[in-house]
Chain A
């Protein structure tokens, strides 16, 4: 993944925290199905394709692109800054109004010196720091660190008190964001380092290019004179030796850029006298050859300035790419994204709205059982309730104090509407009808139709008692309270005050 994609990945993961998981699954799965039968292989490519899919759908983050653009702008600005500062410094150091030649040692000190020191520091200190944590072993390094931290604590303390003054909710959000950044940073801090180093090296490369361009302009379009001078009591041979060592890297490739002893001897300058020290003997030669120094300065700038910085810059480019590729994409949040992309969305629920229950009829509480004396009792056995004649008689006697005048099956395969007509159509005195039913059955439409037909046959105000029994394994058990209530609610729909539901007790 590119760095822009990694940034967008983080932004998208944070944004997705507020979205329901089901919605995310549907969204991501629809993206994945757009890839057909050839999904990207490898997590990096999969996630990059996912981000691309989100962007195409208008839902993806653009932060990565903005940051990439910002990075390019920053690089461009640093390039211009580097070019400008290198050019300006070179103009300053190589300024020659004809009165006093340019001091090559000064030039080397300002242009080459710091860069050599920095490179040595990088090459020596970096591996040491990584492998030995040298900074912790340097005497007083810890004190320096503490002092440095104290300064930040001072500022941090002030910030912390401002933070405490924020509303609790905002405080929690900031804290959460901070924790999240801290947690994710452990993944990405390697890349950040390469990015920053790359920008810095870009600046340095541009600086050196600026110096070289300025030097080239001045050499080509004006006449420069160079010399060297020092207060120290140095012999030209010693200076030649040092410069010779400095010129070692390009000695073979560009021998003209290696200062000769004659050149060094001839171009020593005395500001007191305002002339080359060798002015008397071969002074004309010194003046003629002083311009030759430009090759030495040019080569030194390239060798100790441009080339190392360019090399480092290339290393940071490659390092950044490698670091981006090595970012581990196996955190649980990323796992979740991959799961959403690769697992099908399964839905099983009905898209229709539930119909809602029919409200119970008003006055849904069944009326109290009748207690009036009964002379003629007709019994119906509903849908194969397994009660023989003796049991029916016992129940009838228990409830009404009389035996059944008729016992007729109703409902079920053996129910005969004609038999019910015949049994209940007979006239009688004070009569009642007992309908025996299994408690686990329901007062469904068929049962309600049966009760309505009984009412038609026996007339109004004749008590109809629905007697619930729990008959199983040749015994009668207790009727469940829940079943009794359910039957009463169902029967209440008939709105017949002379129909009641009762539980008939256990027994043989």
Chain B
């Protein structure tokens, strides 16, 4: 191993070492399985910044016969100062032999200078025989810290800590399947404690990881913003090939339109998953209950559970209608006594409530057949239809809710997870001011139909960024 700081993740088989590595290295190729002894060899996970290797994590096979190994070491012990040499003799003596195969492999990187990250399962009871492993690791003389992982549902962390505190400089709780970004960074900061000479390079690594995370959140914001821009302004125009084809063409157009919106949402999700390095994340099987976000974009549940409630939409509609009504009041010189605003609000509210339930967009006739000029030019025009942009006032809110739920689930998912993506079922709460802002922006995007002015794009992105920051803290 080079002079780059290294940390060997060690422990007994099946205590979550590989899960810890997968989470810290964000590597889904780490073999994780409930059967013992999945990891047979050491595997390095270098953390590089701009091609420069800053430090290395080493996944190791687990202790399998620590008690016998310790017995071998004790037979040859002379003094505490000589213990690291005895460990080296142990490895040399059994190198290449099937006896103590895994012990030799896991000790080799430690003897080469790696710090020790000892992993135990804090959800299982403490047993005295683990002290054999702790003793062996202490004999190496290398800086050591312990991680109390969580695999099951019970809690025996306290009894583990009482023992680990006697052998390790730092003891930290760490759930490899649920660790947040901040918790992963905190672990890196603990690494700094092990060796002062490693602090500078670990600080650089921490800074780079923070910077990378900020970049990811910006990328995710871009992905959600672009979904909104492309979906809200999306429309299709088609000319009927023949007059007799009108009904068939309408149905086909409607299907193509909604399928394309679904496809755009899928692409945006894939992009978010790639940003957070969850390429190819596995979906749940069809016979299990589908998470809410994974339902079809236009499924009824998506629209009843996400987006705005009926009352909120009415409120949004009231605002829109009242603006018209106020115009009427102004035109009448205030003689209407504000009745215009009330009437406009009521009309807008009803319209908002009616359109709220409209999940699917309608096909509209754009222009009828023929025109005088076309006839003069000798070219008969066939009827043209347009579907889109999707006019439901709830559509932008449904899109945003789904995107944020997905983002939240992806960001929180560690790379130790092998199950399907899970998501909270809590719909977000929309403040009235934000509802109005989003509704106004959505209307502008719809009206622009592809050529969205710079200012609107920038404002929409700011809004999305603010929402992203709320669901995923930096």
Interface residues of A (CB under 8 A from B): 20-22, 29-30, 33, 150-151, 153-154, 157-158, 160-161, 164, 179, 182-183, 185-187, 328, 330-332, 335-336, 339, 343-352, 354-358, 360, 383-386, 411-415, 438, 440-446, 449, 471-473, 480, 482, 486, 489-490
From residue 1 to 60 of chain B, which have CB atoms closer than 8 A to chain A?
12-14, 24-27, 29-31, 33-41, 43-51, 57
Distance between Cα atoms of A153 and B68 in the complex (Å) = 89
Contacts of A472 in B (CB 8 A): 124-125, 154, 156
Contact between chains at B239 and A442 (CB < 8 Å): no
Q: Does B128 contact A (CB under 8 A)?
A: yes
Chain B residue with Cβ nearest A482: B34
Contacts of B222 in A (CB 8 A): 332, 335-336
Contacts of B452 in A (CB 8 A): 183
Contact between chains at B14 and A442 (CB < 8 Å): yes
Q: Does B290 contact A (CB under 8 A)?
A: no
Contacts of A471 in B (CB 8 A): 125
Chain A residue with Cβ nearest B25: A348
Contact between chains at B226 and A332 (CB < 8 Å): yes
Q: Does B209 contact A (CB under 8 A)?
A: yes
Interface 9-mer from B75-83, B316-324, B373-381: B373-381
Contacts of B302 in A (CB 8 A): none
Contact between chains at B48 and A346 (CB < 8 Å): yes
Q: Does B458 contact A (CB under 8 A)?
A: yes
Chain A residue with Cβ nearest B375: A154
- Supposing A158-B379, A356-B31 touch, asked if A346 and B47 sit within 8 A by C-beta, the answer is yes
B215 partner, pick from A339, A384, A413, beta carbons under 8 A = A339
Question: What's the minimum C-beta distance from A477 to chain B, rounded to whole angstroms?
Answer: 9
Question: What's the minimum C-beta distance from B457 to chain A, rounded to whole angstroms?
Answer: 7
Contact between chains at A442 and B36 (CB < 8 Å): yes
Interface string of B202-222 (1 = CB under 8 A from A): 000000110110110011001
Question: What's the minimum C-beta distance from B228 to chain A, rounded to whole angstroms?
Answer: 12
- Supposing A349-B25, A355-B31, A355-B43 touch, asked if A446 and B212 sit within 8 A by C-beta, the answer is no
Contacts of B14 in A (CB 8 A): 441-442, 486
Question: What's the minimum C-beta distance from B370 to chain A, rounded to whole angstroms?
Answer: 10
- Supposing A160-B239, A440-B124, A446-B67 touch, asked if A183 and B29 sit within 8 A by C-beta, the answer is no
Write 10 A-B pairs (CB below 8 A) sorted by A numbering.
A33-B50, A153-B373, A186-B454, A350-B45, A354-B29, A355-B40, A357-B35, A385-B127, A415-B67, A445-B101
Distance between Cα atoms of A331 and B64 in the complex (Å) = 57
Q: Is the contact region of chain B dominated by helix, strand, or loop, or is it mixed? A: mixed
Q: Does B131 contact A (CB under 8 A)?
A: yes
Interface string of B118-129 (1 = CB under 8 A from A): 000100110111
Question: What's the minimum C-beta distance from B66 to chain A, rounded to whole angstroms?
Answer: 8
Contacts of A386 in B (CB 8 A): 125, 127
Q: Does B275 contact A (CB under 8 A)?
A: yes
Interface string of B166-189 (1 = CB under 8 A from A): 000000000000000000000000
Contacts of B208 in A (CB 8 A): 344, 346
Question: What's the minimum C-beta distance from A172 to chain B, rounded to whole angstroms?
Answer: 9
B218 partner, pick from A186, A335, A344, beta carbons under 8 A = A335
A348 partner, pick from B24, B50, B379, B382, beta carbons under 8 A = B24
Contacts of A346 in B (CB 8 A): 47-49, 208-209, 211-212
B451 partner, pick from A21, A183, A414, beta carbons under 8 A = A183
Chain A residue with Cβ nearest B237: A160
Distance between Cα atoms of A183 and B445 in the complex (Å) = 12
Contacts of B66 in A (CB 8 A): 446
B27 partner, pick from A183, A343, A350, beta carbons under 8 A = A350
Distance between Cα atoms of A438 and B222 in the complex (Å) = 51
Question: What's the minimum C-beta distance from A303 to chain B, rounded to whole angstroms?
Answer: 43
